[in-house]
Amino acid sequence: MNFEYVKALHIIFVVTWFAGLFYIVRLFIYQTEALQKPELERAILKPQLDLMASRLWNIITWPSAILTLIFGTWVLSYRWGYMELGFMHAKLGFVFLLYCYHGFCHVLYKELQSGKARWTSTQLRIWNEASTLLLFAIVFLIVLKNTLSMVWGLVGLIGLAFLLMLGIRMYKKYRIKKGQ
């Protein structure tokens, strides 16, 4: 298959994988909050949210993660020389962390499907931003192809993390003020 087609498919599955990762944690937040509702509301919300999470996780997110790995390995086989460059090692390190993130989301998924909420909705909101930070790191490394720029990128990531945490705190205060 032509390199450009393989690369396009890799990018498409990266996008669908991230969409699944972003939304699954949002569903985890809703599932956690539903477990705290009165029994009547919980009886309505939990089955629907469980079904939505199951379909997203098993039909979109897991297959996208697997296809991302397959097509990413295929792309790398066309560009094996990149393995001699530091940026690729850093990028693959962040990709490894992303698969670890995915694996831990699977643990959370299983727990919430069985009705156990170990984390609060605020903790899950913070967890949701970890994938955003990984996305920024991976994209900047692959586009810039430079680990020196990674230093500035890390400074930017720390700044982004700070802004995300600030946004989460402001949203929490807003929700408390509105009584939600």
Among 89, 98, 77, 87, smallest CA distance to 22 is for 98
Residue pair 57/25 in contact by the 8 Å Cβ criterion: no
Is 113 exposed, middle or buried (CB count within 10 Å of its CB: 0-12, 13-18, 19+)? middle
- Cα–Cα distances in angstroms (integers) from residue 29 to residues 15, 32, 56, 71, 109, in the given order: 22, 5, 15, 31, 11
For the annotated binding site, the residues are: 10, 91
Among 147, 29, 152, smallest CA distance to 94 is for 147
Residue 150, number of CB atoms within 10 A of its CB: 20
For the annotated binding site for heme, the residues are: 10, 91
Residue pair 88/82 in contact by the 8 Å Cβ criterion: yes
Cα radius of gyration (the chain):
19
